[in-house]
Amino acid sequence: MSEITVENIFTQIVQLPPIERFKLRRLLDQLEQVERKSPKSPLDKRVPPIPVPDSTREMRWIADHQREYAGQWVALDGDRLIAHSPNHDEVWAAAEADGAYLPMIVFIEDPDKIYAGF
């Protein structure tokens, strides 16, 4: 028996005549309205949560290098510097290209500068 996936269901939906697609859309809209009115259900136990990485090494790296990279964005994987630049988009692209699992991307403020606000 084939596995039920969104892709398999979508393939079947595409094959439906327009009136049946209209009925399906109405049923999905009704389901969404019911879900909005009902209290939130607990998270599905079958889907494992994404583990939050321990950022101790990253925070230590930032403390050790904050003057060197002040005013720049940095991407870190543990205590490994992936990229740095004043341009956030460049750092983000480099982190994605690196393939690190959940890298920390953060702006390093100048520790000698006083920031007003917030």
Query: How much is the pLDDT for 115?
Result: 66
Closest Cα partner for 73 from 109, 114, 112, 117? 109
Model confidence at 73, pLDDT cuts 50, 70, 90, reads very high
Most confident range, picked from 48-52, 77-81, 110-114: 77-81
Dist CA 73 CA 107 (whole Å): 4
